[in-house]
């Protein structure tokens, strides 16, 4: 029996592609293992699947800023590499698929030491630090955005632009079920707010102060991230959830327009459903600036409007949302012309091709 080892974590964005691929390998009869962190979001998402063995390892974050944890974390990274090496020697996977995030670095190093072929996937327009560290050890690198290859120093490693890997179920939702879950009728259009898988305090605050205005025209369904619920709101046109999993496709099916961070998986999912988007990317102060580039690329293509976080307040949010809704048909028309590559099957096939016999 062939076996595959997945890794990736830290945020849902580093797990989504794995969630799309895992059922295909299970259906092919492969043994599927996953190495993730002890307490990252990947643990809950992967452990809820049948047929996957989850192996937690120690992880440390490579920070570019001063933090007392910088002293302890290199030791955790070394421990993680040793744990990953031993696990891979025991599991003997035919191939490793790495989605990035800090937990993936020890796994890629461990796989390389065990001479296991490695395929890396990059979701963002510019590669994240973990993937950049891992790339020299990979057999192949998949990219989502067409622009990404110019940011990769690949040496001899093959880079393929495969497009966005999207979970099959994302396009299989039913609006009626979404409305039943949220207890909403069809009398108003639905505005979905998604602050990224980890939520977004600035977006949550702006949405809540704009609620009286927004709910005059829309039902507002707010995915506000862990710990982001606000109990003191009494508005019959407002629904809030920390994070939804199996209900998301139904909620997307009932949605008319979206306000979102510019995490690559989310925005490609919205593009595949032709949902007009207002993007509020994480700023350079809060990140390496990857979402600003993702957002600029979508704006240039005519798929989205961008509101920078510095300009975000209740008034700018209401104005931008109204404009987006009024122009929704133009956005949908442009998005319809985007030809969605079959990335899921392309990556599935490439993994099979490089796996050790
Ligand atoms: C703060 C941070 O580090 N953000 C990064 C992270 O974002 P983040 O983790 O938010 O990643 P994405 O937007 O790419 O993906 C989020 C995924 O979670 C799913 N989802 C979200 C909310 C919910 O309630 N239910 C649900 O299922 C979405 O459908 C999507 O598939 O990874 C992305 C991909 O590398 C990067 O572009 C982001 O910069």
ipTM confidence: 0.96
Ligand 1: atom nearest CA of 291 is 39
For 5-26, write each residue's pLDDT tens digit. 999 998 888 999 999 999 999 9
User: Residue 210 in contact with residue 317, Cβ under 8 Å?
Assistant: yes
DSSP 8-state assignment for residue 245: S
Residue 197, pLDDT > 90, answer: no
Task: Assess whether the C-beta atom of 144 lies below 6 angstroms from ligand 1.
Answer: no
CB of 16 within 6 A of ligand 1: the answer is yes
Section 88-96 average pLDDT: 97
CA–CA distance from 284 to each of 206, 298, 308, 311, 316 (Å)?
19, 18, 11, 14, 20
pLDDT digits (tens, 9 = 90+) for 208-251: 999 999 999 999 999 999 899 999 999 999 999 999 999 999 99
Please report the pLDDT score of residue 65 as a whole number.
62
Spatial distance between the Cα atoms of 331 and 143, rounded to a whole number of angstroms: 25
> Residue 199: what pLDDT?
65
The residue with tokens 């698929």 is 97
Residue among 263, 281, 297, 309 to mutate when testing ligand 1 (max atoms within 8 A of CB) = 263
The whole-number pLDDT of residue 285 equals: 84
Phi and psi of 289, rounded to 5°? 90, 10
Residue 63's pLDDT band (cuts 50, 70, 90): low
Distance between Cα 267 and ligand 1 center (Å): 9
Lay out the sheet containing 95-98: strands in order across.
52-57, 31-37, 3-7, 95-98, 118-122, 140-143, 158-161
CATH number for the segment(s) 3-166+341-354: 3.40.50.2000
Mean pLDDT of the residues in the chain: 94
- Going from the Cα of 12 to the center of ligand 1, the distance in angstroms, rounded, reads 5
- Specify the DSSP element, H or E, that contains 160: strand 158-161
Q: Is the pLDDT of residue 74 over 90?
A: no
> Which residue, by CA, sits nearest to atom 11 of ligand 1?
13
Assigned CATH topology for domain 169-336:
Rossmann fold (3.40.50)
The predicted structure's pLDDT at residue 60: 76
Q: Is the CB of 265 under 6 A from ligand 1?
A: yes
pLDDT of 196 > 80? The answer is no
Question: What is the C-alpha separation between 271 and 289, in angstroms, rounded?
Answer: 21
Q: What per-residue confidence (pLDDT) applies to 59?
A: 87
Considering only 68-72, 103-107, 114-118, 233-237, which range has the smallest mean pLDDT?
Answer: 68-72
Q: Round to whole Å and give the CA distance between 337 and 352.
A: 31
The owner of tokens 């016999």 is: 357
Structure tokens at 283: 């700023």
Q: Residue 66 pLDDT > 70, yes or no?
A: no
For the chain, percent of residues with pLDDT exceeding 90:
86
CB neighbour burial string for 202-213, b if at least 16 within 10 angstroms, e if fewer: bbbebbbebbeb
Tell me, yes or no, if the two domains 3-166+341-354 and 169-336 fold the same way.
yes
Give the distance (Å) from ligand 1 centre to CA of residue 47. Answer: 18
* Span 253-266, pLDDT tens digits: 999 999 999 999 99
Rounded to an integer, what is the distance from CA 233 to the centroid of its chain? 29
Confidence (pLDDT) at 284: 87
Please report, for residues 30, 31, 112, 356, the alpha-carbon distance to residue 3 in angstroms, rounded to integers and kept in the order given. 5, 4, 16, 10
DSSP state of 313: S
Q: How confident is the model at residue 198, as a pLDDT?
A: 72
Ligand 1 nearest-atom number relative to CA 290: 39
Nearest to 354 by CA among 168, 96, 111: 96
Ligand 1 proximity of 131 Cβ (cutoff 6 Å)? no
Q: Where are the domains of the chain?
A: 3-166+341-354, 169-336
pLDDT, position 68? 66
Lowest model confidence (mean pLDDT) among 96-110, 145-159, 246-260: 145-159
């Amino acid at each position: 029996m062939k076996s595959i080892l997945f890794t990736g974590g830290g945020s849902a964005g580093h797990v989504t592609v794995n969630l799309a691929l895992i059922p295909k390998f299970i259906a092919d009869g492969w043994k599927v293992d996953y190495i993730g962190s002890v307490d990252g979001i990947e643990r809950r998402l992967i452990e809820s699947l049948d047929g996957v063995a989850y192996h937690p390892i120690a992880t440390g974050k490579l920070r570019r800023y001063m933090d007392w944890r910088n002293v302890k974390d290199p030791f955790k990274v070394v421990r993680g590499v040793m744990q990953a090496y031993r696990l891979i020697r025991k599991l003997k996977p035919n191939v490793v698929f790495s989605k990035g995030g800090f937990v993936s670095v020890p796994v890629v190093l461990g796989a390389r030491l065990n001479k296991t072929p490695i395929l890396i996937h990059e979701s963002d327009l510019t590669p994240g630090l973990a993937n950049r560290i891992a790339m020299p050890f990979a057999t192949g690198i998949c990219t989502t955005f067409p622009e990404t290859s110019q940011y990769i120093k690949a040496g001899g490693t093959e880079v393929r632009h495969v497009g966005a890997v999207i979970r099959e179920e994302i396009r299989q939702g039913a609006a009626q079920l979404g409305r039943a879950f949220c207890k909403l009728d069809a009398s108003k259009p639905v505005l979905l707010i998604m602050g990224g898988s980890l939520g977004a305090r600035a977006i949550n605050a702006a949405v809540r102060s704009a609620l009286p205005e927004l709910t005059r025209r829309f039902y507002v369904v707010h995915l506000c991230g862990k710990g982001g619920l606000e109990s003191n709101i009494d508005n019959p046109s407002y629904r809030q959830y920390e994070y939804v999993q199996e209900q998301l496709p139904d909620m997307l099916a009932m949605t008319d327009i979206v306000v979102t961070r510019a995490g690559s998986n989310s925005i490609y999912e919205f593009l595949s459903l032709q949902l007009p988007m207002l993007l509020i990317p994480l700023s350079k102060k809060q990140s390496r600036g990857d979402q600003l580039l993702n957002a600029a690329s979508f704006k240039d293509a005519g798929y989205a409007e961008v509101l920078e976080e510095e300009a975000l307040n209740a008034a700018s949010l209401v104005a931008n949302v109204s404009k987006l809704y009024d122009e929704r048909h133009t956005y949908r028309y442009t998005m319809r012309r985007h030809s969605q590559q079959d990335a899921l099957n392309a990556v599935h096939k490439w993994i099979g091709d490089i796996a050790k016999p």
